[in-house]
Structure formats: structure tokens, C-alpha cells
Amino acid sequence: MFTRRRFLETTALAGAALVVGVRFDSRPAAAVEGLAPDAFVRIAPDNTVTIISKHIELGQGSYSGVATILAEELDADWSQIRVESAPSDAARYGNRLLGGAQVTGGSTAMADSWSQMRRAGATARAMLVEAAAREWSIPASEITVDRGVVSHAPSGRRATFGELASKAAAIAPPAQVTLKDPKDFKLVGKQPPRVDSRAKTDGSAQYTMDFAVPGMLTALIARPPRFGATVKSFDATAARRVKGVTHVVPVPAGVAVVAESFWAARKGREALRVAWDESRAEKRGTDELYAAYRVLAGRPATRARREGDADGALRGAARVLEAVYEFPYLAHAPMEPLDAVIRVGADGCDLWAGSQAPTIDQQVVAQIVGVPANTVRVHTLLGGGSFGRRATPNGDVAGEAASIAKAIGGDRAVKLVWTREDDIQGGRYRPLYVHRLRGGLDAAGNIVGWEHRIVGQSIASGTPFESAMVKDGVDRTSVEGAANLPYAIANIAVDLHTTRIGVPVLWWRSVGSTHTAYSTETFLDELAHAVGRDPVDLRRALLAKHPRHLAALNLAADRAGWGQTLPSGRARGVAVHESFNSVVAQVVEVSRRPDGLPKVERVVCAVDCGTAINPDVVRAQMEGGIGYGLAAALWNEVTLVRGRVQQRNFDTYRPLRIGEMPAVEVHIVPSGAAPTGVGEPGVPPIAPAVANAFFQLTGQRVRRLPFARLAAAGTRTS
Amino acid sequence: MANLRINGAARTVAADDDIPLLWVLREQLQMTGTKYGCGIAQCGACTVHIDGRAARACVTPAAVLQGREVVTIEGVSGDVARAVQETWRRLDVAQCGYCQSGQIMSAIALLSEIRRPSDADIDAAMTGNVCRCATYVRIRAAIHEAATTLGA
């Protein structure tokens, strides 16, 4: 650990620039004795303020958000702000909400950055002020800072940050700083434009797919036709004859074809012949899995939550409703297919990637290449979408790239590319689940018992996250959104059957809530309908002790005109759900498409995400979450027949297109609380809200997703 | 080898093995603004202009483009392009941004042909451009706003 003295030497060496970092702001000031050079901001003599983001930019606006927080307390001018990605170093850039690993995920970027970036900005500001006070021989208390200019009104002196940076670098960071009163915010809660919009509109934004170094090779991997199969033998004769192919090598993931260009690698992979050992491969299809899961859904399982006596309440109920739900495997399908560039050299190893977990990648690469982790330099580039896919517990893509580099030897850089087909067929899906819900009603129509059983694979099991995420046999990602059902029901039981299937699974934007919001919010709608209660009124009654839920629900219902008459052929539905500590309510209006599926015309969305750092980014994330969730609800499923994935590309894994995007209005619940999640919470309510509206319109309950199965297999009502 | 005109300049490229224009742009000419998303003309991330019309570079063999005028996001210019790009920035349309070169190229082609597109015109012209971040609300709004700017 660096001492403060060492810190100052380091910043001086870093060259006439002020570098500020604050370690673990949750510690009392006295404990910040050994201040480490956790650099979050760099102020250069040219007056640029570079903010170092430990959270990757995947589209969710984290660069802009992190910069807004820090620039706010620094009183910087937005035009002088630049953002760059932090290097891999968990000690300085760990996510304090995810156990200290350097991970962007769980919609935590703003919550994790809030107090830390405020303190970093305020610390840098105090050092600039002190430098000016010494320079001008005046008390620091008489100095003001506004939009990047430090001023002393009585003497008329002014200086830019750039002019003060070198002097400020020689000043010891203050032990304590005073943060702004939120009423004085000039950037937080306002509309500074995104920092990445220019580069993303002129083609200059650089993603891993675009990154290149001289002499770089491109690799594709021939992957097994079934999960769990391995290479038995391969014939590379024809592949090696393809012009530009340089290497054909076996790697743990399959057989890598390495070439001078993507096109040559693709041609080479087409020419490659591989015989697979499928003795240990998963050979079941999704129809068999659904059938097995439905049987399990009828059997007692591991407890995830118990309130009162649900079993007794259901036995004593005047009426019991029961519903079984089916949720498919889902691919993430970010627009930029998976990729990584690696170069192994004598001076260490470089990895360029758009990874959500750079320090995991660092460890994985180090282990495969056989070098110390601190010689692996991870350079985080923009991610072309992810939705969870670029956060794997085993650093899968980086590991594959490392295994190829090791297999071919030498020090030429290699870019590993997953084609879209590799992406759709390559697994790490949102798990397939079956839910069974039973609800008991008394003679007066009150809900007296709620029993919820979930069957599916664990995401965390068998990964380094297992010890943190699986407790008493329950993976919390399997039951989140169900085990914390907010409704005031006296008797609740939530159970989980964890299955072991050879299909790799992963978190998918909003994780457990992708399925639990659907089953809980549509089943509650069924109960409301059964007792003749208005779905919004019933929710209000059951959420009396949840003010954030109530506020979001009421805001969405009011702005949507809940209860007002709609034109014929249209109907409304509602859902409200908490995820990642934010609450989102959505009221949708649907009509019917010619093919019988719902057409979502309008969505009114209300979100409580604590302090909205960039309200326009919050709106964008709600819009995007709605579109992402809607595509999955209507059309998306990965199906397997005898272990083989049936979908290949966007022709068979159908994305939402512009004409299918509803009008969206987003309303933000005013809040002075610390920020909570935004990237994921817009997703969960859309599917159940659409299903509830579809029932209003057609009388039909949809319990198997995607909705497209309605047309494919007829309807199924229980 | 093939002689192409790209962004107004003559370029000689290796165009054998039915290599698509996409990979010539990205790997031979280092013009990486045009993206690979699906390789089968289903997502539009690779949209460029060929003789002024939107086309998918991932399925267009470079060898057939002799004598044709190719424009990419790096070279697009003029009033319509400027209006579209500036509106895209003003509305902060982009999220991950990976598809936006293609979205912008399709939007420029649309507005070059139809100065005041209806929602139906936008649906028709933009349906081949997928955005997994689902920025469609803003894409539509930006096209209408750019049209207003241009129509003045």
C-alpha cells in the first residue's frame, strides 16, 4: 500500500497533472491514513478533466453518469470532461457493492459510484482551491469555483483548472471534504449530454471488433454441435489450404482456425472437418426439459421464503387458483458479437476487450498463459451491448483468446471473433424455468395464501460466485423477485427446485426478475380478476407498506389514464416490480396484430431509482429495457432438439424492429435518496403488463413464453 | 484485385474469394465504422450507401462494385448527413452505439429520398436496422426532427 508521501511522489512523477483518488469513502477519515493512488480524475495543464471510469460503458450511460457525479462536486465545466476506462486493478477500482471485484453489473454502477465519485470530485476541488489560495495569498474560504474556473471576487483573480493543476498536485489531499447540498447541484439531475454521442454518430467509437494492431491475426473457433461435446479428431487439410489461414489448433472450446483476416478464418472454419466426442454431451431437448420440470413443479422443494402457513391457508381457502408458467432459454444477442484481442509478449500480456469483469479476465488469462496476473494488462474498450453476456464468472471469451494465443505461440496479436451464429448457438442463456403458483381466496375475496414453486438451473452454482449467491441451497438469482414479493399476504411459501442440465446459463438483463416478475404479476392479475377487483386497486391495497411501489404505481396509473375508456380493440394492463433496489411500474395499451399476437401501442413507465443522476439516461434505459423485454416476451426462445440448438441468427432469433416499438413515456418519481439501479429494472414489468392487457383484450391468459408459441401450438390455459 | 470508389477516392483492394465489401472496408481500409452484426443482411449494422442507396455491405461482394460509388459513415457528407448526425447527438439516440452507423446511413438515405417521411415511411426504411438496445423511440424522433430542420 502506498503511503501518502509515496502518493505525492507518484503524482509528481505522473507529470504536471493533478491526480486524485480516495480510498473506500465509507471508512472514517482517520482510517484513510495510507491514502492509495486510486486515481479517478486527472486534470491536465491543457485544462482537460479526464475521469477514469471503473464501470464499463455498454450503452447504459455509465461513463456519462460517473462523470456527472464527479464533475458535479469538482464544479467542472461539462465541456472539459473526458472519460477513459480504468485499468484492471480491483484494489483501486473494485465494485464495493459486488464484493470488491472489478465488475460492472447488477445495475450497480451509479450506486457504487455515488459517494466515492462525489468525494473524489470534492477532494480535487479542495486541492485546486488550496493551490489558488497559496498562489494568491488569500484565505481559501474566499474562493469560489464555477464551471472550471477558480475565482476570488474581491481581487478579481481567476484561474482555470489547467492553470492550477501542477501546483495543486503538490498539495496534500484534505482528510475531509464537504459535499454539496443537493439543492446546489448543477449537473446531477440536469441534462448534460452523453459523453459518447459524438463518437457513436461518426463511426469513430472503438469497440473490440474495431481494435487492431499491426500483424494481428483473426481467429474463429469451430464449436461443438451439442453442449459438453469435445474434439475427438479433426482434419485441417482443406482448412489450411484456404488462402490466409495460418494456424488450425485444438483449444478447450473446440478447434481454432486462425488467419490473416476474418474472411479467411471463416472460409477456413467452413473447410475444417471435426469429429466430436458426444459421449458426455447434453442430448435432451427443451420439450423434455419442460416435461421434467412440470413434474418437479408438483413436488415439494427447497424453501426460499416462509411467511405463516401457506399450505394450511390453501387447504382452508374457499377457492384456489393454480397456474403453471414456462419460460424458455434466452440468448443475450448484443449487437457487437463477442470478441477479444490478445497479445502475449516478453514484457507481459495485453488483452483488449469490452468485458464487464476485467479482473476476472486478468486472472483467467494469467492462468492459461502461465504468467503472473500483474503482468496481464487489460484494456477495456466500449462494449457494443452486453445485457449480462460480457460478465462471465470464468472469463470465457478472454480465456478462449488466451488459449489460442498459447496454442499458436509467438507474439502476434490475435483477435477472437464469435460470429452471430456462435453467439445464438453458444449457450450461456437465461435459464429455462417452470413456475407453479397457487393462490387461496377466502369467501370475502381476500388473498389468504400464496405458494410459488420455481424449477430451473442455478446461474451461480459451480462458479466463484456460488458462496456469495447460493445460501441454504437457494441461488438468490433463481428466486429474486419472487422471494421478496412485496404484497401483504399473510401466508407465503416460495420454493426452489434447482436442476442440473448441460446447457450453460448466465444472468440476462434483470436476471431472476425476467421470469419472477412475469409469473407473480400475471398471477396477481388472475386473482384480481377472480374476485372482481381492479388490478391497480388491488395492488394499492396490498402495497400499503411499500411507499416506493405505491408512488411508482400511482404515477404510472395516473399518467396512463388508468380507468378511462379506450377505443375499441385496445386494452390496458399493469405491472409493478422492484429489482436492483429500484421500483418500476408500467401501464401498457395493446391491440392485436394480424397474426394474433399483441401489438403494444403505448407504454407509460414510472421509475423510482433514487436520485436520477442523468434523467435523460434514465429515460433511455427505461425505453431500451422495454424494447429488450418486449422482443423476448413476444418472440424469443432458444429451443433444443436432441441437444441441438435450433436457432442460428437474427433470422430465427427475432429481434424487435422499429415498427414494433411502442410509444414510451417515462416519468421519474422525485427522490432525494441515493441512486439505485437503472440499466435492468425497466425490463421486468413489460412482459407481465402486456400479458395482463392481452387478457383484458382477448380473455386469454398466456402462461408460456414467448407469446409466439400461442400461434405455434394453440392456447394453453393452465 | 478490384478498383473501387470509396468516399470519393479510388481504392485498389483484394476482392477475391467473394469477400464482402464489409470486410474490405474494415480490414483492408481500416474503416471500422461499418459494423459486423449478423453477416446475413438481417441487422443492418453494416449499412453503407452504394450509388446513394442504403445497402448491406456484409452480403455485397466487393468484386461487383467496380464503377459504383460507395459511401461509408466515415465519408458521408452534405446537408442531410449533417442534420441527421447533429439530431442524433442532440437527442442522445445512441446507447451502446454499435448499430448506429448503420441506423444513420439508413436514415440519411431515407431523408435524401423523402424529405418529410411519415411514420410508415420510417418503418419501411428502417425496419432492416436492428438495435438491441431498442433506441427506436429516439431514432424515430430524430428522423422527424432532422426532417424539420432540413425542411425549413
Place of cell 471463416: A266
Using the beta-carbon criterion (under 8 Å), do B98 and A655 form an inter-chain contact?
no
CATH number of the domain encompassing residue A11 = 3.30.365.10
pLDDT score for A224: 98
pLDDT at A710: 86
> What residues of A are in contact with residue B129 (Cβ under 8 Å)?
658
Report the gap between the CA of B67 and the closest CA in chain A (Å). Answer: 23
Mean per-residue pLDDT, A125-146: 96
* Pairs across A and B, CB distance < 8 A: 178
Closest-CA distance, A382 to chain B, in angstroms, reads: 8
Beta bridge partners of A275: A233
A646-698: pLDDT as tens digits: 999 999 999 999 999 999 999 999 999 999 999 999 999 999 999 999 999 99
Round to whole Å and give the CA distance between A240 and A248: 7
Is 90 exceeded by the pLDDT of residue A34? no
ipTM above 0.85, yes or no: yes
Q: What is the pLDDT of residue A713?
A: 54
Q: Are A33 and A173 in contact (CB under 8 A)?
A: no
> Do residues A398 and A488 both lie within one domain?
no
Question: In 3D, which of A8, A12, A18, A7 has the Cα closest to residue A165?
Answer: A18
Listed by number, the residues of chain A in 440-499 with a beta carbon closer than 8 Å to a beta carbon of chain B are none
Residues A92 and A218 in one domain: no
CA atoms in the 13 A half-sphere facing the CB of B128: 21
With CB atoms and an 8 Å threshold, state whether B132 touches A419.
no
Assess A624–B contact: CB distance below 8 Å, yes or no: yes
Contact A668, A617 (CB under 8 A): no
Whether residue A179 is contained in a domain is answered as yes
- A163 and A114 within one domain: yes
Q: Same domain for A254 and A298?
A: no
| Final residue belonging to a domain, choices A385, A417, A449 | A417
Question: Does A664 sit within 8 Å of B130, measured CB to CB?
Answer: no
Q: Are residues A179 and A222 in the same domain?
A: no
> Domains in chain B, please, with CATH?
2-71 (3.10.20.30), 79-151 (1.10.150.120)
Asked if A515 contacts A552 with a C-beta cutoff of 8 angstroms, the reply is no
Same domain for A446 and A374: no
pTM of the model: 0.94
- Asked if residue A190 is part of any domain, the answer here is no
Are A262 and A218 contacting, i.e. CB atoms less than 8 angstroms apart?
yes
User: Which pLDDT belongs to residue B17?
Assistant: 79
In 3D, which of A339, A391, A347 has the Cα closest to residue A369? A347
d(CA A600, CA A626): 11
Residues B100, A645: Cα–Cα separation, whole Å: 30
pLDDT tens per residue across span A524-575: 999 999 999 999 999 999 999 999 999 999 999 999 999 999 999 999 999 9
pLDDT (tens digit per residue) in A308-327: 999 999 999 999 999 999 99
Phi/psi for A332 (5° steps) reads -80, -45
Chain B residue numbers touching A193 (CB-CB < 8 A): 89-90, 92
A24 belongs to a structural domain: yes
- Of A356, A389, A417, the residue that ends a domain is A417
Interface test with A, best of B137, B138, B140 (most A CBs within 10 A): B137
> Where in the sequence is the domain holding A677, given as residue range(s)?
286-330+429-713
Q: How many domains does chain A have?
A: 3
Same domain for A487 and A411: no
pLDDT at A18: 53
Answer yes or no: is A442 within a domain: yes
The tens digit of pLDDT for each residue in A477-533 reads: 999 999 999 999 999 999 999 999 999 999 999 999 999 999 999 999 999 999 999
The separation between CA A103 and the C-alpha centre of its own chain, rounded to angstroms, equals: 10
CA of A296 to nearest chain B CA: how many angstroms apart? Answer: 34
Q: Are residues A445 and A389 in the same domain?
A: no
Same domain for A157 and A238?
no
Mean pLDDT of A110-131: 95
% of chain A surpassing 70 pLDDT: 94
User: Which helix (H) or strand (E) segment is A628 a member of?
Assistant: helix A615-634
Query: Are B33 and A203 in contact (CB < 8 Å)?
Result: yes
Domain boundary at A417, A444, A475, which?
A417
Percent of chain A residues topping a pLDDT of 90: 90
The pLDDT of residue B152 is 58
**A661 → chain B, closest CA residue:** B136
Average pLDDT, chain A: 93
Cα–Cα distance for residue pair B152/A189, rounded to 1 Å = 33
* Cβ-Cβ contacts under 8 Å, A634 against chain B: none
Whether residue A224 is contained in a domain is answered as yes
A485 and A608 co-located in one domain: yes
- pLDDT tens digits for range A267-292: 999 999 999 999 999 999 999 999 99
Contacts of B21 (CB under 8 A, 6+ apart): B48, B57, B58, B60, B61, B62, B65, B70
Query: For residue A32, what pLDDT is reported?
Result: 28
* DSSP result, B101-115: HHHHHHHHHHHHH-S
Whether A191 maps to a domain, the answer reads no
**Residue A696, in any domain of the structure:** yes
Same domain, yes or no, for A557 and A702? yes
A407: left (phi over 0), alpha (psi -120 to 50) or beta: alpha
Q: What is the pLDDT of residue A298?
A: 96
Do both A490 and A636 map to the same domain?
A: yes
pLDDT of residue A99: 86
> Do the chains contact at A624 and B101, CB–CB below 8 Å?
no
Q: Which residues of B touch A658 (CB under 8 A)?
A: 122-123, 126-127, 129, 136, 139-140
Distance of residue A339 Cα from the nearest chain B Cα, in angstroms:
12
Q: B121 near B106, Cβ under 8 Å?
A: no
Query: Is A627–B38 a contact, with Cβ atoms under 8 angstroms apart?
Result: no
Residues 6+ apart with CB under 8 A from A171: A127, A130, A131, A134
Interface residue of A201, A204, A270 to substitute, partner B, most B CBs within 10 Å: A201
Tell me if A40 is assigned to some domain.
yes
Best of A424, A658, A665, A680 to substitute, by most chain B Cβ atoms within 10 angstroms, is: A658
